[in-house]
Copies of this chain bind each other. A is one copy, B any other.
């Protein structure tokens, strides 16, 4: 078996309760896996869930990421920078590192109400001295520049010297991961050049600067320790490390509590990074650990008030639903219009931290319905990279704006494989679709005026150039494109891509009409800025009228592309007996000539346009494509659950939903340990729940709700935000749904 095929994880270790994820046992087998599952973030920064005192040997796997902080690893290509590790700690009892002692009663708990992770266990040394250890870490939602770690040491049956070494470690490294899903990554890249560190006993500071662009991060910490411990505290500054060594005598039956408060600032925060970090640290010192936690918890409370989805179902499902929402929110830079959410959030460096269509098509709906301001900022990231998208179009010898398949702190293409980077062009239309949904649902007409219409025009311009007019047949073809089903190869007139492009053109035409009528002055300046000439838009309409897609009337079936039906059929069962992607067993190249889908394409479009596609067409597409779909992308299960629910295929919907909602919590793809949390799947699960089971759809006319609850969910209760008001939806199995207006915002 291919070495990447399986991650051996004993999933029984995980206990999913309504508000907590609990791991019992400290087996090394689950260590990597738990590091992914217990990842923490506050949108500004994120850390993988490694224990502060259980440092990994591999410095590329001890990751701390800051939202939007990238650096070049070769010309034009960036990686998300692995930041100094502010957790780095060791505890010694009677001179022995507790990591070398035997461990009992190990428990690790993620509390989704307050965002804390607790590690709790007992260590025994060779003389049978028992010591209870508790460590609590959180990244503050109250002040996103701050984090805190509490160390508790409780000598059960002995008096001993206790030493805590803790600091900030700049000895971290990047492991940029190639686009190619099959290539091994062996080339570490050191991002950090100059690192200055200083420590004065209880306090330490580290400033690191990237080699290429001189981008700076400053981290500071402060140790809070009760005077009565009579601790001796020494500064401990080594190469690229700043820390404190804290020594005191531990007495049997006493609980010793030491807090480490941390502040973080980086070049994206403005000038004088050092001052910013120091100010935040002073705030930490003022509040202390408990005060900081109170503030952070308050914010989590507000978030859950809008975002929680309560279900009457198993405890496990309730916990999993919250986990999906929780992890997505942890990675969202909700107040930052210059960053987006990576395909593994802030929890893993996979895909070099880049942003994909995953954000707009899979993750955005959750924010749009629970925190429209955060949704707006995600879309503003695209507006703020519009110039780069225009330059990108130019590099492809085209006009207008072409968004990149993978982007980072700039909008320039980060994808290095030709077929994907050059041909998976639907992302441009995906972004426009998401903007359209945002405006429709929020009624934020100013966003249309100030940002969207400009994006619409430039992207429409791109599509006009990207379609090829066939004079003989008087039609438009989209040549050399790759649809969401990445196993279709590069083909022409891919259904999803063509239809999304036409929607893009339609929104552009509509917005011009609206701008002319509603905002004539702004329109005039935009027309001038974009140098739009009257005749240009005629061609857009012509493309809408004459673009080629393939529909088989007899079967009521939309055909994905003209090659698809000529591909070789394959007995999926003969190759695939689990959820592990088939590209580990069959080459990508070979898969492209089988009649199989990696993930939905026609059905994907139908998921986005439920009002446009009649039920018979949706059912025909389901019956045709679903059996041919391998779900080798984590984006697939949730969308299939959604469509199945809409079609009333409750059993299928429930089956797919479970695969999506437990994707990481049950390690269904066998890559959660190695690759981190799949953020798009989190969003797809939420959509399956709300748009599928609850049957919610929202357009400018209002909220509609046609539930399709599976038997296993007796009721659902959640809030959504529609045009500056909050509504509560209560859906009970077999009953008429309730939509209650709560209040305006």
**Do the beta carbons of B587 and A397 come within 8 Å of each other?**
yes
Smallest CB separation, A184 vs chain B (Å): 7
Tell me the bound Cα distance from A589 to B490 in angstroms: 12
A470 CB contact (under 8 Å) in B468, B469, B566: B566
Which residues of chain A in 437-493 are interfacial with respect to chain B, using CB atoms and an 8 Å cutoff? 468-470, 472-473, 477, 479-480, 489-490, 492
Contacts of A468 in B (CB 8 A): 566-568, 593
Tell me the bound Cα distance from A601 to B543 in angstroms: 31
Q: A186-B75, A489-B490, A490-B480 are in contact. Are A587 and B470 (CB under 8 A)?
A: no
Say which size band chain A's interface belongs to: 35 or more
Which residues of chain A in 582-629 are interfacial with respect to chain B, using CB atoms and an 8 Å cutoff? 586-587, 589-590, 592-593
Smallest CB separation, A509 vs chain B (Å): 23
**Do the beta carbons of B589 and A397 come within 8 Å of each other?**
yes
A479 CB contact (under 8 Å) in B395, B422, B593: B593
Chain A at the B interface: SS class: loop
Closest 10 interchain pairs by CB?
A: A397-B590, A470-B566, A397-B587, A418-B418, A397-B586, A480-B489, A396-B587, A490-B490, A418-B419, A422-B589
A589 CB contact (under 8 Å) in B396, B417, B473, B590: B396
Chain B: which residue is nearest A583 at the CB level?
Answer: B397
Q: A418-B418, A419-B418, A419-B419 are in contact. Are A477 and B566 (CB under 8 A)?
A: yes
Show 15 A/B contacts (Cβ-Cβ < 8 Å), sorted by A.
A74-B187, A396-B589, A396-B590, A397-B587, A418-B418, A422-B589, A468-B567, A473-B566, A479-B563, A479-B593, A480-B489, A480-B592, A489-B490, A490-B490, A492-B563
Tell me the bound Cα distance from A593 to B395 in angstroms: 15
Q: Is residue A565 within 8 Å, beta carbon to beta carbon, of the partner chain?
A: yes
Tell me the bound Cα distance from A469 to B568 in angstroms: 7
**Do the beta carbons of A472 and B567 come within 8 Å of each other?**
no
Smallest CB separation, A363 vs chain B (Å): 28
Q: Knowing that A75-B184, A419-B490 touch, tell me 16 more A-B residue pairs with CB under 8 angstroms.
A: A74-B187, A396-B587, A396-B590, A398-B590, A419-B419, A422-B589, A468-B567, A469-B568, A472-B565, A477-B563, A479-B563, A479-B566, A479-B592, A480-B593, A490-B490, A492-B563
Tell me the bound Cα distance from A589 to B482 in angstroms: 13
Per-position 1/0 for A553-572, Cβ under 8 A of B: 00000000001011110000
Tell me the bound Cα distance from A470 to B395 in angstroms: 38
**Do the beta carbons of A566 and B489 come within 8 Å of each other?**
no
Contacts of A422 in B (CB 8 A): 589
Tell me the bound Cα distance from A567 to B477 in angstroms: 9
Contacts of A419 in B (CB 8 A): 418-419, 490
Tell me the bound Cα distance from A202 to B427 in angstroms: 68
Contacts of A477 in B (CB 8 A): 563, 566
Tell me the bound Cα distance from A490 to B490 in angstroms: 7
Contacts of A470 in B (CB 8 A): 566
A418 CB contact (under 8 Å) in B417, B479, B590: B417
Tell me the bound Cα distance from A468 to B567 in angstroms: 7
Smallest CB separation, A494 vs chain B (Å): 13
Tell me the bound Cα distance from A184 to B395 in angstroms: 16
Tell me the bound Cα distance from A554 to B397 in angstroms: 35
Contacts of A469 in B (CB 8 A): 568
Per-position 1/0 for A651-686, Cβ under 8 A of B: 000000000000000000000000000000000000
Tell me the bound Cα distance from A672 to B419 in angstroms: 31
Contacts of A417 in B (CB 8 A): 418
Chain B: which residue is nearest A473 at the CB level?
Answer: B566
Interface centre among A419, A422, A593 (most CB of B within 10 A): A593
Contacts of A593 in B (CB 8 A): 468, 479-480
Chain B: which residue is nearest A590 at the CB level?
Answer: B397
Smallest CB separation, A463 vs chain B (Å): 13
Contacts of A490 in B (CB 8 A): 419, 480, 489-490
Tell me the bound Cα distance from A64 to B667 in angstroms: 53
A587 CB contact (under 8 Å) in B395, B472, B492, B565: B395
Tell me the bound Cα distance from A593 to B75 in angstroms: 27
Tell me the bound Cα distance from A396 to B593 in angstroms: 11
Contacts of A479 in B (CB 8 A): 489, 563, 566-567, 592-593
Per-position 1/0 for A417-433, Cβ under 8 A of B: 11100100000000000
Chain B: which residue is nearest A187 at the CB level?
Answer: B74
Smallest CB separation, A475 vs chain B (Å): 9
Tell me the bound Cα distance from A567 to B472 in angstroms: 11
Tell me the bound Cα distance from A266 to B133 in angstroms: 63
Which residues of chain A in 52-80 are interfacial with respect to chain B, using CB atoms and an 8 Å cutoff? 74-75
Contacts of A586 in B (CB 8 A): 397
Chain B: which residue is nearest A565 at the CB level?
Answer: B472
Contacts of A398 in B (CB 8 A): 590
Chain B: which residue is nearest A397 at the CB level?
Answer: B590
Smallest CB separation, A183 vs chain B (Å): 8
Which residues of chain A in 155-205 are interfacial with respect to chain B, using CB atoms and an 8 Å cutoff? 184, 186-187
Smallest CB separation, A85 vs chain B (Å): 29
Contacts of A184 in B (CB 8 A): 75
Chain B: which residue is nearest A588 at the CB level?
Answer: B422
Smallest CB separation, A399 vs chain B (Å): 11
Tell me the bound Cα distance from A563 to B472 in angstroms: 13
Smallest CB separation, A334 vs chain B (Å): 36
Chain B: which residue is nearest A566 at the CB level?
Answer: B470
Tell me the bound Cα distance from A473 to B562 in angstroms: 14
Tell me the bound Cα distance from A567 to B75 in angstroms: 33
Tell me the bound Cα distance from A586 to B470 in angstroms: 21
Smallest CB separation, A426 vs chain B (Å): 15
Contacts of A589 in B (CB 8 A): 396-397, 422, 480
Chain B: which residue is nearest A417 at the CB level?
Answer: B418
Contacts of A418 in B (CB 8 A): 417-419
Tell me the bound Cα distance from A418 to B422 in angstroms: 11
Contacts of A473 in B (CB 8 A): 566
Contacts of A492 in B (CB 8 A): 563
Contacts of A396 in B (CB 8 A): 587, 589-590
Chain B: which residue is nearest A479 at the CB level?
Answer: B593
**Do the beta carbons of A472 and B397 come within 8 Å of each other?**
no
Chain B: which residue is nearest A592 at the CB level?
Answer: B480
Tell me the bound Cα distance from A282 to B592 in angstroms: 59
Smallest CB separation, A567 vs chain B (Å): 6
Tell me the bound Cα distance from A567 to B565 in angstroms: 23
Contacts of A74 in B (CB 8 A): 187
Chain B: which residue is nearest A568 at the CB level?
Answer: B468
Tell me the bound Cα distance from A186 to B395 in angstroms: 21
Contacts of A568 in B (CB 8 A): 468-469
Tell me the bound Cα distance from A492 to B477 in angstroms: 16
Chain B: which residue is nearest A419 at the CB level?
Answer: B418
Which residues of chain A in 340-399 are interfacial with respect to chain B, using CB atoms and an 8 Å cutoff? 395-398
Chain B: which residue is nearest A469 at the CB level?
Answer: B568
